[in-house]
Amino acid sequence: MFLVFVSPFWFLQDVAVKVYFGNQCGETNLLDYKKEIDIMKRLRHPNVLLFMGGASSQEKIAIVTEYMPRGCLFKALHKNNQPLDLKRRLRMSLDVSRGMSYLHRRNPPIVHRDLKSSNLLVDKSWTVKVGDFGLSKLKHATFLTANSGRGTPQWMAPEVLRNEPSTEKSDVFSFGVILWELMTESIPWKDLNPLQVVGVVGFMDGRLDIPQELDPRVSAIILECWQSEPELRPSFEDISRRMAEIILSLGGLTSRKNSV
């Protein structure tokens, strides 16, 4: 279990504090925590949530990050009274791909393993930053069980749904779902429960329907991200380049720095 709250007293600026409780804080997890904190504190990118500090004890683990006033992308997209125009949604997708490209180019690469719109945070200028990429060992080893139905397989790659190892290419599949979500402004697999999604995507090779009216260049990226064979999926560096070209052709990159 975890709790997120905002503190206004971190060197006179708002920060977000995420606190993990209970059995997530055993001795092994504390060692993992210290290792991953060492990685997180070195990361600096405009599309990666800034880690600002942390603390741990036998009962709880706290993570301090920059505060993102517009909340998560899921909320901004699906629970916002103000519709987001196409260019803004395309720029948001570019933000995500650039942040993920940065993480994947670390040595060793940082695999997110839980990339979804609720783990992407939006700042006051609508810039999107990748969050919740560290402390993967604190998450449940089994994300979904027949008894609990717990988890969010709607964004997960088929190999992950089959309990196979996650790789950088698993993150790419998840990005394809996020790009579909941004372009359609729909919740993926909203008519299926989590166990049904596992069956359809993980074992029947099912995919979401792509609207015919969608820009074919964007459709092509989504389809490539959804390749069944992970090695056939593009890299985030390639995705970022192609997304930037699409946005530039629509006149939508004038106010953004090129920071792949």
CATH topology of domain 73-249: Transferase(Phosphotransferase); domain 1 (1.10.510)
Q: In the predicted model, what is the mean pLDDT of residues 68-93?
A: 94
Q: In the predicted model, what is the mean pLDDT of residues 214-239?
A: 99
Split at pLDDT 50, 70, 90, the class of 55 is confident
Split at pLDDT 50, 70, 90, the class of 243 is very high
Report for 16-25, 210-219, 247-256: range of highest mean pLDDT: 210-219
| Cβ–Cβ under 8 Å, residues 128 and 173 | no
123 is known as an active-site residue: no
Give burial (CB, 10 Å; 0-12/13-18/19+) of 86. middle
Q: Locate 182 and state its tokens.
A: 């941004």
Q: Give just the sign of the alpha carbon dihedral 119, 87, 223, 259.
A: negative
pLDDT, position 53: 82
Higher pLDDT, 17 or 136: 17
Q: In the predicted model, what is the mean pLDDT of residues 172-192?
A: 98
Split at pLDDT 50, 70, 90, the class of 11 is low
pLDDT, position 232: 99
| Averaged confidence pLDDT in the chain | 85
Q: In the predicted model, what is the mean pLDDT of residues 1-28?
A: 58
Q: Considering only CA atoms, which of 71, 57, 75, 74 is closest in space to residue 4?
A: 71
Higher pLDDT, 106 or 4: 106
CATH topology of domain 2-66: Phosphorylase Kinase; domain 1 (3.30.200)
pLDDT, position 139: 41
pTM for the whole structure: 0.85
Q: Which of 14, 32, 38, 114 is catalytic?
A: 114
**SS3 labels along 40-107:** HCCCCCCCECCEEEEEECCCEEEEEEECCCCCEHHHHHHCCCCCCCHHHHHHHHHHHHHHHHHHHCCC
For the chain, domain boundaries: 2-66, 73-249
Q: In the predicted model, what is the mean pLDDT of residues 224-243?
A: 99
